[in-house]
Amino acid sequence: MKKNLIALLLLLATTASAQHQYSNPVVDRSLPDPTVIRVGNYFYLYATEDIRNVPIYMSRDLVRWQYIGTCFTEATRPQMVPGGGIWAPDINQIGDKFVLYYSKSTWGGEWECGIGVATARTPRGPFTDVGKLFISNEIDVQNSIDPCYFEEDDGRKYLFWGSFRGIYAIELSDDGLSVKPGAEKVRVAGTYTEATMIIKRDGYYYLIGSAGSCCEGINSTYRLVVARSENLLGPYVDKAGQRALDNHFVQMLTKSKYVVGPGHCSEIVQDDAGQDWIFYHGFDASDPDAGRKLYMDRIQWVNGWPTIQSRIPSTTADAPLFGSAVDVDDLPEEAEGFSVKPRSVRDSFSIRSTSDYSTFRWKMLNLQGKVVKQGKGKREARVSVSDVPEGMYVVNVKSKKGQTSQKILRTP
């Protein structure tokens, strides 16, 4: 039995080592201002049109991305602003439609730019342009770009937008395709950021933004910052309680020796293990002329705030977990009499005797076979994992009448 368990652990460790590492950038070409959505077992990513007419990429694992086409063609390209580029798309699913908000702008055209919307039946497109939501000079917000859609639990829909001239929000119609009649814009942050992304978690709304210069190659100063609020429309504050309206934020991600100007992040997306991941663009310090490449990192939540390890882009790291890598039910029990629940666990799990066993011993091992926790139980043992790193583990339970081994997944 011990030999079998060790062999299983070694097999799992070897598989994890071979399959669950990735290197940044995940796409070695310019894909600025990424937005991403999961549909079934696939992820779809869209970006500012360095590839004309808005590129679409597809992936099953968040690491290997395949270019599959564009949202628009020359014939269907949005024309709400003459000329200019299609910037900073934001993809969402509203009802049975895939809804893409986008900016249309030219450099320096801060009163003529605006935000539009397009729809498709599938995330692969083709997208049909519905037209503008508003133009800067119509809504009286200079530099109206960088849309971010957010839907409340009660179904109310909002659009956040803005770029270094204030961050604003306004309520949308039920279908998300127009501004709600009578809705008034609300200013939620000052002039420090652009590229807003709103995340809700554990009772807080998080406003992630990008500060600094995005597009000066090796001299770019772009970086991610964050503030949070108990209400969607603010006030958003930093850790000291100072307001984002007064340009106070918490630093979240900045440059490294390898990556300059990391910023304009995507939505947070989850892998099958419940881990949070975020995409952003940055300049490869060794290849800055290639444009703003696509990077990915895992979000860690520390004392209620999102952060990226060391607050710099990773070079190589553990990859997202999908499919069989997180199948917690495929390890058979080798003896009856015990249950380990839940199998996907955030804070603690229980080991319970399901027969007349009175005393047992248990060990919790990582995929390299190292014991990370152990103890005894009498009919039941409650095991806290709040101090254990996220990932897959094997729980081995022994009594005089036999033993069982079960996998558990420690989630964020």
Q: Is 223 exposed, middle or buried (0-12, 13-18, 19+ CB in 10 A)?
A: buried
Q: What is the CATH number of domain 22-320?
A: 2.115.10.20
CB-CB contact of 254 with 265 (8 Å): no
Per-residue confidence (pLDDT) for residue 356, from 0 to 100: 58
Fold held by 2-9+324-410? Immunoglobulin-like (2.60.40)
pLDDT of residue 21: 85
pLDDT of residue 31: 98
- What residues does CATH 2.60.40.10 cover in the chain? 2-9+324-410
Answer yes or no: is pLDDT of 3 > 80: no
**Least-confidence region, from 169-173, 233-237, 370-374:** 370-374
pLDDT digits (tens, 9 = 90+) for 331-369: 334 345 678 888 888 889 998 887 655 688 899 987 666
For residues 76-91, average pLDDT: 95
CA pair distance 110, 386, nearest whole angstrom: 48
> Looking at residue 93, what is its pLDDT?
97
* Closest to 279 measured CA to CA, from 119, 116, 91: 91
Between 178 and 10, the more confident residue is 178
Overall average pLDDT of the 254-275 stretch? 94
b/e map of 243-267 (b: 16 or more CB within 10 Å)? bbbebbbbebbbbbebbbbbbbbbb
* Parts of the chain belonging to CATH 2.115.10.20: 22-320
What integer best gives the mean pLDDT of the chain? 89
Q: Does residue 374 register a pLDDT over 50?
A: yes
- Report pLDDT digits (tens) over 285-336: 999 999 999 999 999 999 999 999 899 999 999 899 887 554 444 433 434 5
- Whether residue 215 is predicted with pLDDT greater than 90 in this model: the reply is yes
Rounded-to-integer distance, Cα 69 and Cα 264, Å: 22
The predicted structure's pLDDT at residue 12: 47
pLDDT at 405: 75
Question: Over the range 362-375, which residues count as b (16 or more CB within 10 Å of their CB) and which as e?
Answer: bbbbbbeeeeeeee
Contacts of 323 (CB under 8 A, 6+ apart): 272
Residue 140, pLDDT above cutoff 90 = yes
- What pLDDT is recorded for position 358? 67
In degrees and rounded to multiples of 5, residue 28 shows phi and psi of -90, 50
Token pair for 51? 């590839």
Examine the pLDDT at 145 and tell me if it is beyond 60: yes
Structure tokens at 402: 């036999």
- For the cut 60, the answer to whether the pLDDT of residue 410 exceeds it is yes
Q: Minimum mean pLDDT among 177-186, 219-228, 287-296, 378-387: which range?
A: 378-387
Q: Assign 159 to helix, strand or coil.
A: strand
Residue 133 has pLDDT above 90, yes or no: yes
Q: Is the pLDDT of residue 17 over 60?
A: no
Measured CA distances, 360 to 122, 273, 347, 363 (Å): 53, 29, 22, 10
**Cα-based torsion angle of the residue sequence 251, 191, 113, 151 in order, rounded to the nearest 10 degrees:** 60
For residue 227, the model assigns a pLDDT of 98
Q: What's the full length of the chain, in residues?
A: 412
